Structure 1
């Protein structure tokens, strides 16, 4: 059954290293919103491994049916059905308050306008001091690639869509800061990726 669903090898490769950090950072969290759940592989795995958390997947409407199918097969009590979320449109009203957001491999496939919309939405959703934003993916530092493979990947992204590209961490940090978030962790991950954790320092 699972073989019939979309499958991401990258998700399979990075889920354990990401979990090692989430286990430390999400100890006291009750509900996490995942933005850009894609195939749903992360949603299922993290829900299995973090049973104290109610995991809320989300993505654009075209991806929801496959995510829902994977969730139905997983049969996990703490894993919610996905909600539609387009960062450029009004965000959905969630059933419960969220204090942490996780997103993986999304910023480089979004346009810059979409990334800006994402952070504006997060600033409204995560209003309280202490809320967490956790982002996984490749980033540039001081406008430079961290590896040749990232440079090649960025060129491939540009071929697919001129609006895509690996983002400068300085720009991402600036967008986060404008919404009250400070970068507190920047963890080296496999395959030249990073795991960033931002904490909201001020409440609205």
Structure 2
């Protein structure tokens, strides 16, 4: 995949280069062939630009609540010159209303553990409102399973997150799935990914009435 020359406002997250190919492999299997894909907490914007370049039949809508990240997303997008990538939205997952009415899929990478639990609750509420019937919510990150960390490195990561902010931390997969189920989102797929991360797919039933 091509790398582009970007301006000074474009931020670089080293983990993106290590995980974007693995995440894209899952997305190729679960995303629709056409439609609008909303990314929540796009951060630097490197993921969404990579995915938009690889999947040009889809329209990609990045978002982030932080102005510095939105500037980075815009800088990466401008350098890439992609016509299927929309300008970033100012969107906080925890807000009761989002500035987008409908999406065919929602993507959220590495937010659930680096945010208060209220952000995950808001993400589930927003997905239930915004996803088209049959649409998916894809989460990527570190999760505990059965009340246990899946590796020593994830346990250390969790301790570091909680030291930085006690509202943060690696979440239990079962708790996240329960929060989704309360909004009518069915946990469909669990995919093991490199560095002890998981890809989780939740689906809104195809028969769901508009929220």
TM-score w.r.t. the length of structure 2 is 0.91
Uncovered stretches (5+) of structure 1, i.e. residues with no partner:
none
8 Å contact from structure 2 (residues 64, 91) kept in 1: yes
Aligned to 2:54: 49
Question: 1:69 Cα shift?
Answer: 1.3
SS of aligned partner of 1:84 = coil
Counterpart of 2:24?
19
**Deviation (angstroms), 1:3:** 7.1
Unaligned stretches of 5+ residues in structure 2: none
Map residues 35-46 of structure 1 onto 2, 5 A cutoff: 35-46=40-51
Q: Which residue of 76, 84, 99 corresponds with 2:82?
A: 76
Deviations 1:51-86 (A, max 9, x none): 000100001132211211111111100011100101
Give 1:5-154 correspondences, 5 Å limit: 5-62=10-67, 63-94=69-100, 97-126=102-131, 128-154=132-158
Paired positions, count: 202
Distance 1:162 1:54 in 2: 36
Alignment partners' CA distance in 2, 1:115 and 1:52 = 29
Q: Is the deviation greater in 139-148 or in 114-123? A: 114-123
Asked whether 1:179 is paired with 2:180, we answer no
Contact 1:58 1:83 in 2 (8 A): yes
TM-score, normalized by length of structure 1? 0.94
Structure 1 partner of 2:173:
169
Which structure has greater helix proportion? Answer: 1
C-alpha root-mean-square deviation of aligned residues, in Å?
A: 1.5
